[in-house]
Chain A
Amino acid sequence: MKKPPQHAPARIDSTAELRAFQRLMTAAVVRPLDAEDNLQSKWVDGRPMDQVAAEFIKPNDRLTSFERLQLYNQMYWYRVLEAVRDDCPGLRAAIGEPAFARLAKAYLAQCPSRSFTLRNLSSRLPDFIRAHPRLTAPRTALAIEVARFEWAQTVAFDGEARPVVAGADLAGTPPDCLRLGLQPYITLLDLRHPIDTFVISVKRRDVLRSEASNTPDSQVVARRSAIRVRRPRPVRTCVVVHRHHNRLFYKRLEPAAFRILAALDAGEPLARALLAGGPRVRPEKIRAWFTSWMALGWFCARGNKPSRRAS
């Protein structure tokens, strides 16, 4: 957002005046809350915030201008923080709730929503964590991987599906010319931790907690609330986050299979992509992989989408 004006326009007749007013109010609404979750007492230029609010918001007999603006400021932060929390149960479990709360506030302060839908709110979180490692230290590597995995789930849930390429469509094209695309809803992740099983454990725990909260048996509540999910130990994990019949799935791949898919995704023709698998992979194994991937409908015509491969 462009810099807000120093003062609210006294009258709003032109589009430029309307825009100036909206920039000022948006800057105030999205500004981080103070330590007590209230509107900050000073504006960006050091003026008292009650003075700034009074310039454009009327008070009434019950609320000051400051308090009326504060309602919108608080509602904004409750809304966006809740949305990111809901998107990231795995990340919360990986770094702990207090660290997650600090991370989410810092992230949303620097990366306010640029989309009409809250669905996209967490899309820049992996890059933000990478750029601000102190916020998740000493678990930054794990945090980046969990954030990427959880965003991949969002993409798999409602991302675009293109027409599937059938075997017959490929018959006439030699392998050194044949380029295949991967469905836009698929994300390939080459991870240092088994994030798939970790996220499944977190989901299972959350279901149990939810069930426990509905039972009158206090012992069950205590026992199930105490369920802890262990952070994963490092194990290289190649996984595809995808959907099948509109249900979310995670599919583990051997590293050689992953390299072939990543090469295809990067735009390599089939012949070169197969070389990426390495010299030791037996042809019958490659055939089995492709049979499975074709059955899952993973291949489509290549679009202009940039590679999504994990580093």
Chain B
Amino acid sequence: MPANRFNGNSDYGIGIGLRVPHYSHILAKKPVVDWFEIISENFMVDGGRPLELLDKILEQYRVVQHGVSMYFGSADKPDRAHLRKLKTLVKRTKTPWLSDHLCWGSVDGTYTHDLLPMPYTFGAARRTAEKIKEIRDYLEVPICVENVSSYAEFHASEMTEWEFLSEVVELADCGILLDVNNIYVSSKNHAFDPYDYLDNIPHHRVGQMHVAGHTKFEKYILDTHDHPVLDPVWRMYAHATRQCGVSATLLEWDDKIPSFDEVHNEALKANEFIDGAKKAKG
């Protein structure tokens, strides 16, 4: 299901994140890339070079917005000034869908700039779903929520992470940005089977997938986005593609960023698994 109502019935293939070290290469060489994912907050500014650059990219490429500060799970009400800026950007990019994380990261207007995990409770799910609906109604664009990687679990939780994700997206009637690397990282940190996660979410709601690299430490794994994608994550991606259908796929590489071609070639490896999934389906 490459196109569904959660990704604006679009048919996007494999994209990469638009990152500063690649700007000059992209503008000069105009490489063929199916689409770029931008971090919304980097362009929620009032003027200057960032918007000039974005407009040049938009002349040539399809762009999807990905946010890191909406904090759907925060107890605070949505910040109207923030939403106005975001909507201005949505109109500029014409993003067919918009994604942000199933997490929280601020309270009373103090920001941690982190993607903090939720307590997986029914009350938190209801509150989060209400907020997603309110934001979607204001922005007038489909929303996909992304599962985050995490390093802590809470006593207050009443269900598994994948049950919480399912509860939220069903209540909000929104899409899922399925980050298979984040599932892998959390599965190692919290000792669960990542395939249980992949098998028990509403597959028809997946509008996009993320893959990325991570870093292993002695006692935990960090979601660092500074490596190629590891084999176990590709295998999970292949499984997810068989379950959910071929979906818009994005490689995240945010630190120790290599050349544009290296990042793009790493992203295009997804094709091997997509082909495999198509053949398996017959």
Report A's interface with B, CB cutoff 8 A.
Answer: 1-2, 8-19, 21-23, 25-26, 29-30, 55-58, 60-63, 67-69, 71-72, 75-76, 79-80, 83, 112-119, 156-161, 184-185, 243, 246-247
Contacts and interface: CB of A to CB of B under 8 A. Distances in A.
Contacts of B52: 246
Given A29-B116, A60-B191, A119-B45, A113 B123 contact: no
Contacts of B154: 21, 56-58
Given A14-B123, A63-B219, A68-B151, A158 B50 contact: yes
Given A15-B75, A68-B152, A159-B47, A76 B111 contact: no
Contacts, number: 144
B134 to A, nearest CB: 13
B46 A159 contact: yes
Given A18-B127, A159-B46, A117 B41 contact: yes
18 contacts: A10-B156, A15-B75, A18-B119, A19-B107, A26-B110, A57-B153, A57-B154, A58-B155, A60-B189, A60-B190, A71-B151, A113-B112, A114-B109, A115-B111, A116-B69, A158-B45, A184-B46, A246-B49
A287 B206 CA distance: 63
Contacts of B190: 60
Contacts of A62: 219-220
Contact of B114 (A67, A72, A114, A115): A72
A157 B219 contact: no
For the complex of A and B, the 6 pairs showing the least CB-CB separation, nearest first, are: A160-B46, A13-B123, A19-B75, A158-B45, A158-B48, A116-B69
Nearest to A58: B153
A160 B111 contact: no
Contact of A159 (B48, B114, B153): B48
A17 to B, nearest CB: 7
Interface string B84-113: 000000000000000000001011111111
Contacts of B235: none
Nearest to B53: A246
Interface in B104-155: 104, 106-114, 116, 119, 121-124, 127, 151-155
Contact of A116 (B79, B104, B152): B79
Contacts of B7: none
Nearest to A120: B111
A80 B113 CA distance: 8
Interface string B30-47: 000000000001001111
A11 B121 contact: yes
B74 interface: yes
A19 to B, nearest CB: 4
A74 B276 CA distance: 41
A173 to B, nearest CB: 26
Contact of A114 (B50, B75, B110): B110
Contact of B156 (A12, A75, A161): A12
From B104, B121, B122, B151, name the one whose CB has the most chain A CB atoms within 10 angstroms.
B151
A118 B41 CA distance: 9
Given A18-B124, A71-B151, A118-B113, A2 B108 contact: yes
From B76, B110, B116, B127, name the one whose CB has the most chain A CB atoms within 10 angstroms.
B110
B156 A9 contact: yes
A21 B75 CA distance: 9
Given A13-B122, A67-B219, A161-B46, 14 more contacts: A10-B155, A11-B121, A15-B123, A19-B76, A26-B112, A30-B110, A56-B154, A56-B156, A72-B116, A75-B114, A113-B112, A116-B69, A116-B79, A159-B45
Interface in B183-203: 189-191
Contacts of B278: none
Nearest to A243: B48
B209 to A, nearest CB: 25
A113 B121 contact: no
Contacts of B155: 8, 10, 55-58
B25 interface: no
B138 to A, nearest CB: 16
Contacts of B51: 158
